[in-house]
Amino acid sequence: MKKKSSLYIIFAIFAAFMIACDGGGESSDTGGGVVIDDSASGGNQGGNPAPTNPAPPGSLNDFQAFMLNVVNQARAQSRNCGNQSFAAAPSVTWNDRIEAAAQMHAEDMAASQNLSHTGSDGSDAGDRLLMENYDWFTWGENILFGLNDGEDAVDALLDSPSHCSLIMSPDFLEVGAGSATGSIQGFSSTFWTVLLATETN
């Protein structure tokens, strides 16, 4: 049995075509040292979602293959995310440009010792995807601090309704993730970014 940290913090943000939100946030302490702050906004780059081409077999490194497998295992079964029910969602494929955007943000959070969707340069996930030449149609970002294992991190996200619903959304066709070691208030652990997106044609 894996030993889990007693403290971890998760955040999620979701921007998607035809999803409206007031742009505000919601904070809650769900017990066990878990703090959640969710915010959302709607938007798209126009056009239609582009088809996804799966990565060639054997082309992923160990981290990429592991994170892709964990996310797709979660999407492979129907589940309730709070009061919202989700059917099993199609598998997503790994995208190196999404990974680069996610890794950039994980490293930035570690360097600044700050868990936030806003980068130290003021960017959000959509901006970071565009920096990697990913012309997004829709995107959603989960971030987490305090767990060192990728499977534990995704499990923690699935335990939170808003983060779970982002992982289960059928609107996303591709995924990338990043991690970096850092600390917050003297507590050292891993910063995670799990970024799902769909590109325009």
Q: What is the DSSP string of 19-88?
A: ----S-EEEEEEETTEEEEEEEEE---SS-BPPPPPPPTT-S-HHHHHHHHHHHHHHTS-EEETTEEEPP
- Percent pLDDT > 70 in the chain is 71
Mean pLDDT of 156-177: 93
**Could you tell me the CA-to-CA distances from 22 to 89, 109, 177 in Å, in that order?**
27, 25, 27
Q: How confident is the model at residue 119 (pLDDT cuts 50, 70, 90)?
A: very high
pLDDT at 193 over 50: yes
The better pLDDT of the pair 29, 45 is held by: 45
pLDDT at 184 over 70: yes
pLDDT attached to residue 107: 98
Residue 100 · residue 132 · CB < 8 Å: yes
57: CB partners within 8 A, 6+ apart:
none
The rounded distance, in Å, linking the Cα atoms of 101 and 63 is: 16
pLDDT attached to residue 201: 78
Eight-state DSSP code of residue 45: -
The better pLDDT of the pair 36, 188 is held by: 188
Q: How many CB atoms lie within 10 A of CB 56?
A: 7
pLDDT attached to residue 9: 57
* Mean of pLDDT over the chain: 78
Determine the 3-state secondary structure of 107 from DSSP: helix
pLDDT attached to residue 31: 30
Mean pLDDT of 151-165: 90
What is the end-to-end Cα distance of the chain in Å, rounded?
45
pLDDT attached to residue 8: 54
CA angle 77, 29, 156 (to 5 degrees): 30
Six token digits for residue 174 = 């591709």
pLDDT at 156 over 70: yes
Q: How confident is the model at residue 1 (pLDDT cuts 50, 70, 90)?
A: very low
Strands 25-31 and 187-199: unpaired
Task: Say how many residues make up the chain.
Answer: 201
